[in-house]
Amino acid sequence: MIEFRDLKKQYSVLQRDIDKAVLDVMQSSRFIMGAPVCELEEKLADYVGVKHCISCANGTDALEIALMAWDIGPGDAVFVPDFSFFASAEVIALRGAHPVFVDIDMDTFNMGPIALENAIKATIDAGIYTPRVVISVDLFGQPADYKAIKPICEKYNLLLLEDAAQAFGGSADEKKCCFFGDVSTTSFFPSKPLGCYGDGGAIFTNNDEYAEIIRSIRVHGQGNNKYDNVRVGLNSRLDTLQAAILLVKLRAFVDYEMDAANSAALQYTERLRSFVKTPTIKYGNSSSWAQYSILLGSNVRRDGLMSQLRATGIPSMIFYESPLHRQKAFGGVIANCPNTEFACERVLSLPMHPYLCESDINIICGVIDEYFSS
Ligand SMILES: *Cc1c(COP(=O)(O)O)cnc(C)c1O
CA of 166 to the centre of ligand 1 (A): 7
**Which atom of ligand 1 lies nearest, measured to the CA of 199?**
7
Among 220-229, 239-248, 256-265, name the one with the lowest average pLDDT. Answer: 220-229
- What are the start-end ranges of the H helices in 156-298? 208-218, 240-252, 258-272
Is the pLDDT at 314 greater than 90? The verdict is: yes
**Which atom of ligand 1 lies nearest, measured to the CA of 88?**
11
Q: What is the pTM of this model?
A: 0.98
**Which atom of ligand 1 lies nearest, measured to the CA of 189?**
7
Q: Per-residue pLDDT tens for 267-301?
A: 999 999 998 999 999 999 999 999 999 999 988 99
What's the CA gap between 335 and 320, in Å, rounded?
Answer: 17
Write out residues with Cβ below 6 Å of ligand 1: 58-60, 84-85, 87-88, 137, 163, 165-166, 187, 189, 199, 201
The per-residue pLDDT for 151 is 98
CA of 199 to the centre of ligand 1 (A): 10
Mutation test residue for ligand 1: of 84, 161, 163, 320, the one with most atoms within 8 Å of CB:
163
The per-residue pLDDT for 139 is 98
The per-residue pLDDT for 1 is 84
Residues 6+ apart with CB under 8 A from 145: 105, 108, 110, 111, 113, 282
CA of 164 to the centre of ligand 1 (A): 8
Full DSSP string of 91-102? HHHHTT-EEEEE
CA of 53 to the centre of ligand 1 (A): 17
Mutation test residue for ligand 1: of 5, 56, 85, the one with most atoms within 8 Å of CB:
85
Q: Per-residue pLDDT tens for 138-157?
A: 999 999 999 999 999 999 99
What's the CA gap between 163 and 185, in Å, rounded?
Answer: 5
Full DSSP string of 280-337? -PPTTEE---S-EEEE--TTS-HHHHHHHHHHTT---B-TTSS-GGGSGGGTS-----
